[in-house]
Every structure is written in structure tokens, then in C-alpha cells.
Amino acid sequence: MLRQLKPWRASLAVRLPTSSAWSQSSRAALLSSRSFSSNSVLYDADKIDGNAIAKSIRQEIQKEITEIKRVKPQFNPNLVIIQVGDRPDSSAYVRMKLKAAHEAKLSCELRKFPDSITEAQLLEEIEDLNDDTSVHGILVQLPLPKEINEGRITDAVSIDKDVDGFGTLNIGELSRRGGSPLFVPCTPKGVMVLLEKHKVELRGKNAVVIGRSDIVGTPVASLLRAADATVTVCHRYTQDLASIVKQADVVIAAVGVPDFVKGEWLKPGAVVIDVGINYVPDETKKSGKRLTGDVDYASSAKVASLITPVPGGVGPMTVAMLVQNVVDSAKRHYQEQERRHVTPLPLRLQKPVPSDIDISRSQHPKKIRDLAKEVGITDHELIPYGAYKGKVSLHALKRLEHRKDGKYILVAGITPTPLGEGKSTTTMGLAQALGGHLGKMAFANVRQPSMGPTFGIKGGAAGGGYAQVIPMDEFNMHLTGDIHAISAANNLLAAAIDTRMFHEKSQKDASLYKRLVPKNKFTPSMLKRLKKLGIDKTDPASLTKEEIRKFARLDIDPDTITWKRVVDCNDRHLRTITVGEAPTEKGDIRQTGFDITVASECMAVLALSNSLHDMRERLGNMVVASSRDGVPITCDDLGAGGALTALMKDAIMPNLMQTLEGTPVLVHAGPFANISIGASSVLADKIALKLVGSEPGENHEEKAGYVITEAGFDFTMGGERFFNIKCRSSGLVPDTVVIVATVRALKLHGGGPDVKPGQKLPDAYLNANVDLVRNGCSNLKKQIQNAKSYGVPVVVAINRFSSDSAEEIEIIREEALAAGANDAIASNHWEEGGLGAIDLAKGVIKAANEGSHDDFKLLYDIPNTSAEDKLNIIAREMYGAEKVELSPLAREKIERYTKQGFGNLPICIAKTQYSLSHDPNLKGVPSGFTVPIRDVRASVGAGYLYALAAEIMTIPGLPTYAGFMNVEVDDEGNIDGLF
């Protein structure tokens, strides 16, 4: 563990080992407090050996760093020194600092810049260092060239890295009575340590400081006053200076004049600290000059009781204090990272519960910078988008790679019904209970909602009631533009496909090749295509005619194009369109269509990527069509992989928001749940797991926090894909599955009357009916068994409504436990926020700590299982089907993908979410059915195949009465009408 940092006054104390470098008189002086006498007697002053004390401090620092590293290997205090120009004195000082840092085992880097560097350039360098979390101290070697404002430069250094203590904030805090500077300037701090080490009593004594500089005189006077000395600050022009000095018990000379203070000025027995560094002519020295202080040492040593020599007094201490400040800065940085704590926002609960948008607007969110600081996201890792949302840089993953991941919780549900189960609301309520009431670090990770359902019939996905993401309107509309970036990337690729076919049709091989490689240089994407073709050449001029033809002609078969354009809107009239109608397209007409943006493979790639590099490779590998020879055509064959990555390079960073109670939420990606994983991104989960994780040496079970993420639809669909596709990509293993159920939804599965959104509920759903509940629990039991088959603990969350009876709740609990659930707990987070989910949170904590990743297993092997066998395994084990039946088209597609090398990919099935089967009318737990697979498609870049068991609309239509009709904006810019 890092030692607890003490206030700066206490931190001045440094243990002093006994050393042979110390004289007997110095050792005696150390062991007895100094007394002061006004008697006119001569003293033979003891020399204060700054070299010995500084050496002992460096040794202690080295020992401390070694001790901390033994527990925390990542601890690495790092100092960066900035030097402008080549002044000999500056270079000498820098060499001393580098040497001292090396002796103390600090990382230390010198960045030298020419005199010609501008102030703006220097400020930019400092800003970069301020943002670098691996740097704990920044020292700008003074003086700077006269064209550069020194004050502006020293103030630019972040206060928490200002190890010189020259910044306005640190100096101001030091000067203020009771102030708390993060750093004390090194020379004044060294002076105080010298006095402390020699047990010089300062309380009530007279101290005279000669010199008023901001670097030494003023701060050392503040330190002496803080030690209860009576301080007089003088300078070389002070009248009757000798008489003033004569009254001093302690004299600090920092005037910058050689031998300025004479022995006859001193009070007998005074303690003299000479801070001066002056060079005077001396023909006896090889250099022609010698170093002297501000005090005439020869005469003063006969009067003083203690005196510092020059050199060998304060100078070495200055450097030692610099090293100490860097170590203190590093310790403070690591302690702040370990002290992560989220301060919850209070809720003002109302009954009846207002609308979601009214609840959202009634809460004043935390500023996103404040929330980021609470959870341990550094300033340079946060990119704010307004006041209440921001992006989190992937640099956080690298910085925190040493941490052990926190606990990983997956929220899924029973088979959905029109009544809804409340997975998103439960996700938020659980996070609010863990983070706002049980003192745990807890992230909720959710998908970004498409504006299709937001303006359609379903609404957004912010949760609801007193368990939701805020601000709700920003969450549901645009957010930070990720979906728009994906639209742009997807449509660029669509344009590239049609354009390439057009140009290949209208040009011969040589001219086509010349236009493709106009600068006679291959792009990175072109080099990938050459490698794919087996052409080991990098010089465009070296290709043969046959190689030119193979390289330049993709020869796309229009009938095999799978890539569509996208728009983030429900628009049924774009499902089938014709392109190429303009006369300029020369009759190159083909039929295609639009998908909703979240159905784009680009979105799936975003969700499943593990890094920016991984996303670049996946985007380049996306297969958009086949050639007439059956060769898969990729995004990189079209040369578009780099451009798509450029459009999505910001979108890869997760978005930070917050729950209604001020706990953190990462919102990222939103892959279409029918044909993809229907879950938030791998990167959001990985970053959150590190942010809530434990440091080496900490008790993981006590310190680890929780990341609650959500799977689309029920566990049979969303959970199965989460494990077999998302977990394969991420390598992560959930610690617990939470399955959400409601009394109402179970009644529907148990044979209750049909319901339709917006219509009055039949009495069966408003009054107790234990038979319907018990019958419907068959669906819940199947979901529990499915989840348990992966070797993960299961907790059932009973999302409670006011109409639910205690007997109905108890029946669900009995049936869940009988099916193997670790627990089944009622939760009222919609009405009460985190307070209503405390019991659920405790149950999740218990289950997460009881499980073991050693028990985890996936549903099927990848290399040893054919695509058809995988489909059969999913249908039998997850759905309860007898088998799948492939259409001729589906079988032909599987054979093609297998031949092309894609048969070893995981697979998912696009089917209705309203039944365990492919038929939405089959409620409860149907059995003995056959799942018809009419088509199979490939998302090669994302890394999976998907089979279609039903007609899945990848761009929904709008209803007669659509959600957008409710939306209005008032004169203040507030959005109303969202639900």
C-alpha cells in the first residue's frame, strides 16, 4: 500500500540515518536542541552538512520506492525537466537534478529545446505533459529567454505536477495562513528540513530573511511564520540592516550578493542559512572563479552556532527536495486512483411516479468532469461533449492494465411480451443500488438507442421511472454522434461498391490500373489486396499484365452484393430501392435497399472490437459481395478500410453519462438485436471493468466494483449471443446472470389473455392469479436452465409492480430456486430508484462472489463444429427445438461460406423475440418443433454468421401514430414528449 500522504508541514520531516559522513559535533548538534544567547561570546559554528543530509534523503526515497514497487510494480515516479537553450549554469543544475533522480531510482527525462522555441510552442509542450498520466512532475529550468514570459510558463504547469512549487496556486496557498499547497518550493523546503534536522527551535524566535524573491525569500518567510517564528523580511536596500540582523536568532540569506552578510552583523549563537550561489573571480582556481554564498563564511562562522557552507549546504537539499516532491506527487496520483468514490445524488421520490422525461428533468446531473474524476478517469482521458456527457479515451485501458477486473454482471430477461420486463430499468436500478447505497463502484453499460425506435413506437432505452440514464433527451437523441459516424462510414462503402463496378465496366485494364494507382505508390489497403492475391511486390511498375488485371478488377457479381445503405430512421419505403437511374450512370442499374444504421455491420464491428487496430482490421475484412469466380470481396479490396476507420475513430470511444442517482454509465454501440449481439461494446465493458477493478495488493472481494451490462431480448437470444459471440471476442466471463421477470409477463406466458400496447389491461393482470403465474414460470425456468448451462450463477430479479401480490412473488421465488437460481428477489427500483433495489444488489454481490470462472463453458466449439451443427445445438439447447431445417438457399450459403473460409465463425439465429421458438404465437416453453432456416448471411468483419429463421425487417416502418408526433421543443430549448 502507498503510505498515507501527510500535510506538507509534517512531510518536511525526513528520517536521518547515522552516517560516517557526519562529524561528532554535527551528531551532537542533532541530538540537542539549539538554545540562543545574546552574550557577546565567540562561537565555533558547526557546519551544516547539506550533502550528507541530502544523500540520506535520496537513500530513504530509493528505499521507499523499492518498498512500494514490491507491492505495486506499476509505481514509477516520473520527472520531466524542460530546458530551453544551453546556458552553462542551467546545464549544470540540470545535470545535478538528473543525477539525484537517478540515484533515487526515479524516472527522469530531459527535454531540451533551442532558444528559438516560441512561448506558444513551449506552452503546447507543457500542456501535453499535463495530460500525460505517466508524468508526475514537470520542472521548467529557469531562467528562460527574455522573449518568453516565465510567469506564464510556470503557471501553465498543472498544480498537481508543479514540483518546483513556483505556480501561482501553490505559492498562493503557501502564503495563506492555514494554506495547503500541493508542493513547497524546493529550496525553502530544503532550508526547513536542515533546521529541523538540527532541532533548531523556531517557535517564538526572531527570524530574518534577507531577500524577497518568489523563489526563496517570500516562501521561506511563509514557512518560518507557519513554524511560529517572528519573521522580518529584508532586502539589500533595507535601512539599518545590520541592526535588524543583530536581533535574529535565525538568519536566511538569499539576496544574491557575494559575502553580503558579515560576521559582526550576527547575534552570537545565531543559526545562519546561506542560500546564495555566486561566482567571484579567483585566480587560484583553474576556472578563474570560485563559488561563494551571500554570507561571509570566515567571519560568520566565528559568531554563529550553526552555518551552511557554500557549496555543500542548501544546494544539495534543493535537489533532494525536488526528488521528494516528485515521489510525493506520484504517491498522491496513485492514492487518488485508489480512493475512487462516487457521491450519489439524492432522489426526490414522488407518488404517483411522474413521466420519465419529467423525472429526468427534475434531477440536476453532475458535471461530467466531476463524475469522471470520481470514477478515476483522468482529465486527458475525458473528451467532454457539453456539460453532462463525454467520451472516454482508450488510453484508460493501457493505464489501468495492471488492475484486476471488477465483477461482471449480465442482465437478461424472460421471453419478451408486449407488457415489457424492464431489463434496462433493472440495469439502472441495480447500478444505483450498488453505487448509490452500498458504496460499491458500479457502472451500468448500455447500448446507444437508435432514433428509429425513439421516434417510432418503442421509445428509447434509458430505463424508466426512478432508474434511468440522464439527461434522457441527450441519451436518446444524437448523443455524441456515433450512429451518424457509422452511417457515413457504411454509406461511403456502399458508394465505393457501385463506383468500382461503374469504372471497371467503362475502362480497360491498363487505364483502370493507372487511375487506381495515380501516384505510382500502393496504399496500405492495396498492399493487403496484393498479399491476398499472392503477389509479393511493392513497386507498382513491377506488376505483370496478368497481375495488373488480377489487382485492378474485382469483377463483382451484382447479384451477390449484400451491402446496403443505411439511415438512422424507421422508413419502410427504403426497404427496396433502385440505384443507377441517372443518365450519367450509363444504364448501370441495380436493385438494393436501406437498413437502419444499427443493423449495419459497421455497428457490429464497433461493438465487438478490442482496440482501434482491431476495428481497422475488422472493417477491412468486411465482405460486401463475391466476384463472378466466387471470391469474397472485402472492404479492403475496395481500398476503403482506412477511410471507414477514420470516420469511426472517435466513435470507438465509449460515452460517459450517469444514472438518476449520479452513478456512472457507459453508453456505447447499439447493434441490431435480431441479426447481431444486441449488447453494448466490448471496449465499454473492458474499460469499466478496469475502472471498478482492484489494484495489486488489495483485497479483491472487498475492493472490486461491478459492471452491469444488458443483453437484448431474452437470455435465449441475447444471452446466448452474449456468451458465444461477444465473450469469444472479448475473452471476458460474466460473474453472474440476472434474469428479469415480471408477474404480468409470466401471466401472459401462463395462458393469460392477449394484450396490446396502449390498450387497457385485462383484469387478470391487475388482480392476483397464482395459477397463471405458476404456469408462466415454465418460461422463467427454461431461461434459468439456459443460463446455468454456461456455468454462471443466476439471480432472478422480480421487477415488482404495485398490483403484484406477495403470494405471486413467492411463487416466482419458489419456482426460480427449484430451477437452480441462486436467488430470486423482488425489486421496486422503478418507484424507489436504488433504494428499491438494495436487496437485489446484495443478492447479486453474494452470487458473484460464490461463482468461479473455472465453471464457465461455451455452448459449442468453434473449430470442430460445422455451421449446421452449431445451428442445431443452439436450437436444441436454447430453444428446446428438435432440430433446424435448412432451405436450399441456406445450405448453399453455408457451403459457400465454408469454402471461403468462414465456416469456423460463431453463428446466431435471427428469429422472433416473442417466443422461445421461431413462431411468436408459441408461448411458454414449446417443444418438438423444427426451426426453419431460410437464409444464412455473413458478418465476416464483425466475426460471425447469422441465420434467418423468419422475415426480419432490418429497417422498421413507422406506425400511424408515431413517437415523433409527441416531441416538441419549448422556447428555452427543452425537449418535451419523449417517453
Show the cell assigned to 780.
422463467
3-state SS assignment for residue 936: strand
Buried b (16+ CB within 10 A) or exposed e, 931-951: bbbbbbbbbbbbbbbbbbbbe
Of 839, 841, 715, the closest CA to residue 783 belongs to 715
State how far the Cα of 325 lies from the Cα of 341, in Å rounded to an integer: 26
The helix or strand, by DSSP H or E, that contains position 129, with its residue range, turns out to be: helix 119-131
In terms of C-beta density within 10 A (0-12 exposed, 13-18 middle, 19 or more buried), how is residue 713 classed? buried
DSSP string, 326-363: HHHHHHHHHHHHHT----PPPP---SS---HHHHHHHS
What is the spatial distance between Cα 187 and Cα 319, in angstroms, rounded to a whole number?
8
- All three cell numbers of 597, joined, read 444504421
- For 691-709, give one letter per residue: b (16+ CB within 10 A) or e: bbbbbeebebeebbbbbbb
Residue pair 790/858 in contact (Cβ under 8 Å)? The answer is yes
Alpha carbon distances (Å) from 175 to 209, 382, 447: 15, 33, 51
Q: Give yes or no for a contact between 907 and 871, defined as CB atoms under 8 angstroms apart.
A: yes
DSSP class of 941: T
The DSSP 8-state label assigned to residue 404 in this structure reads B
Largest distance between two CA atoms of the chain: 115
Residue 330: all three cell numbers together: 506520484
351 as an active site residue: the answer is no
What are the cell numbers at 85?
537553450
Q: Which residue has the cell 531577500?
A: 211
Cα separation, 516 vs 775, whole angstroms? 66
Q: Is 613 exposed, middle or buried (0-12, 13-18, 19+ CB in 10 A)?
A: exposed
Amino acid identity for residue 560 in this structure: T
46, 49, 55, 97: which one is catalytic?
97
Indicate the DSSP class of residue 383. Answer: E
Torsion sign, CA atoms 332, 334, 339, 343:
positive
Q: Please give the Cα distance from 305 to 717 (Å, whole number).
A: 84
Are 509 and 549 within 8 A, CB to CB? yes
Of 46, 49, 162, 164, which one is the catalytic site residue?
Answer: 164
Assess contact for 105 and 62: CB atoms under 8 A.
yes
**Cβ atoms of 371 and 658 closer than 8 Å:** yes
Scanning the structure block, which residue is given the C-alpha cell 540515484?
103
Cα–Cα distances in angstroms (integers) from residue 355 to residues 202, 362, 688, 977, in the given order: 66, 11, 30, 10
DSSP3 helix / strand / coil % (the chain, rounded to 5): 40, 15, 45
Whether 59 is a known active-site residue: answer no
What is the spatial distance between Cα 930 and Cα 881, in angstroms, rounded to a whole number? 6
Q: Which residue has the cell 422472433?
A: 912
Residue 124, C-alpha cell as written in the block:
503546447
Looking at 141, 448, 658, 783, which residue is catalytic? 141
Q: How many CB atoms lie within 10 A of CB 312?
A: 16
CB-based burial of residue 562 (10 Å sphere; 0-12 exposed, 13-18 middle, 19+ buried)? Answer: middle
Helix (H) or strand (E) holding 454: helix 451-455
Query: Is there a contact between 445 and 689 (Cβ–Cβ < 8 Å)?
Result: no
Note if 658 is an active site residue: no
CB 232 within 8 A of CB 207: yes
Q: How far is CA 112 from CA 90, 105, 164, in A?
A: 11, 22, 18
Query: Which residues are part of the catalytic machinery?
Result: 97, 141, 164
